[in-house]
């Protein structure tokens, strides 16, 4: 089985996903982070062959992406696929670190090198009314070599007190953008400026929506209605004599008892955070081909099932809590 989160390192604090190996010093360049995280390798496209009738046959318009350090095949791609090496993917981020706008937090590889990522913490977080836990924005840069992941940057919001990770689509503010690869200084600076522009706009919109949720009071009956809609209870679980082991029951228990939700319990923001706590820290993510921790991080960060379920919870809240209450 592929090693859990194949390689990962962090240069300051404790990363929001709780994984990785601490480096001796805080890292100030993408090159340092790449080396510390074990990402100092390159990938090439190699012809793809098969065997038929005892002969080797070239597979047309198909190539294997191969890691040069160990010969690992990371994926199968077509003629048009262009490889962006790890160093080229992350070097533009040095402009943000040099300016003090961000600090390198962590980097690593998932699924045996098929996906790689770099995250940077921005200095200014947001404070939601009534919530004692700060929410911080991160810029997450992702790249891949199996044809399924493009080079892009995304804004990720994290409620620090419990490390709930939010990748919500908010409609009024874009969260993700493609990075235009350029070796020029102008290209790197343009990518850095776009990253900051997207981050600040998204953070402002996130803050606005979070503030409304935090001020929206919800009753116990409303909480149950929201959670039942977002986490439907299977028919076999509805009989009174059966022990309720449903997702709904587990999220409701978190909402009712988790200490870090004490300041926001009774609000729509608290309901959303309870769902995040369950999806980020309680759900078992089982992988068949890959380690559980790979599947967990992919589900939460890469707009996977956990991220989509959080989006569903937000949509249900906005549907069931009166608009007038959310607008206060």
Alpha carbons 134 and 136: distance in angstroms, whole number: 6
Helices (H) and strands (E) in the chain, counts: 10, 11
Assess whether 102 and 173 both reside in one domain.
yes
* Most confident listed range (26-40, 108-122, 132-146, 264-278): 264-278
**What pLDDT sits at residue 318?**
92
Where b means 16+ CB within 10 Å and e means fewer, 7-41 reads bbbbbeeebbbebbeebeeebeebebbbebbbbeb
CB of 30 closer than 8 Å to CB of 322:
no
Q: Are residues 276 and 294 in the same domain?
A: yes
Listed residues 181, 211, 241: the one ending a domain: 211
Confidence (pTM): 0.85
Q: What is the mean pLDDT of residues 269-278?
A: 96
Q: Are residues 189 and 223 in the same domain?
A: no
Cα atoms in the 13 Å half-sphere on the side-chain side of 234: 8
Domain count, the chain: 3
Q: Which two tokens stand for residue 101?
A: 């706008």
Read off the pLDDT of each residue in 260-277 and give the average, rounded to a whole number.
96
Last residue of a domain, one of 150, 182, 211: 211
Beta-carbon neighbour count of residue 217 at 10 Å?
Answer: 12
Q: Do 29 and 124 share a domain, yes or no?
A: yes
pLDDT tens across 30-78, in order? Answer: 998 898 888 999 999 999 999 998 899 999 999 999 999 999 999 999 9
Does one domain contain both 143 and 185?
A: yes
Same-domain status, 50 and 131: no
For residue 24, the model assigns a pLDDT of 64
Q: In this structure, are 299 and 198 located in the same domain? A: no
Asked whether residue 121 falls in the same domain as residue 161, the answer is: yes
Residues 111 and 204 placed together within one structural domain of the fold:
yes
In a domain, 199, yes or no: yes
Q: Report residue 65 as tokens.
A: 């992406």
C-alpha 89: how far from its chain's center? 18
Whole-number pLDDT of residue 131: 94
Domain that holds residue 127: 7-40+87-211
């Amino acid at each position: 089985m592929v090693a859990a989160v194949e390689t990962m390192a962090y240069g300051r604090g404790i990363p929001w996903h709780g994984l990785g190996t601490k480096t001796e010093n805080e890292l100030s360049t993408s090159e340092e982070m790449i080396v510390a995280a074990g990402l100092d390798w390159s990938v090439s496209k190699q012809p793809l062959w098969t065997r038929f009738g005892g002969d080797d046959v070239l597979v047309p318009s198909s190539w294997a992406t191969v890691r040069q350090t160990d010969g690992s095949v990371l994926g199968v791609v077509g003629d048009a696929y262009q490889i962006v090496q790890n160093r080229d993917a992350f070097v533009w981020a040095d402009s943000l670190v040099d300016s003090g706008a961000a600090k390198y937090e962590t980097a690593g590889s998932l699924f045996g090198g098929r996906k790689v990522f770099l995250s940077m913490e921005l200095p200014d977080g947001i404070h939601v009314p009534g919530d004692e836990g700060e929410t911080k924005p991160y810029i997450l840069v992702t790249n891949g070599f199996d044809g399924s992941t493009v080079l892009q940057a995304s804004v990720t919001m994290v409620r620090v007190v419990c490390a709930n990770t939010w990748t919500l689509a908010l409609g009024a503010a874009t969260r993700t953008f493609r990075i235009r690869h350029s070796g020029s200084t102008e290209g790197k600076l343009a990518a850095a400026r776009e990253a900051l522009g997207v981050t600040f706009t998204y953070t402002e919109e996130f803050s606005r929506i979070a503030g409304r949720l935090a001020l929206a009071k919800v009753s116990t009956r409303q909480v149950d209605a929201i959670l039942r809609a977002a986490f439907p209870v299977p028919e076999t679980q509805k009989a009174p004599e059966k022990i309720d082991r449903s997702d709904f029951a587990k999220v409701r228990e978190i909402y009712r008892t988790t200490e870090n939700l004490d300041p926001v319990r009774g609000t729509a923001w608290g309901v959303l955070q309870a769902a995040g706590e369950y999806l980020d820290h309680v759900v078992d993510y089982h992988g068949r081909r890959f380690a559980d921790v790979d599947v967990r991080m992919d589900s939460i960060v890469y707009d996977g099932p956990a991220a989509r379920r959080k989006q569903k919870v937000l949509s249900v809240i906005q549907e069931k809590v009166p608009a007038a209450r959310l607008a206060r």
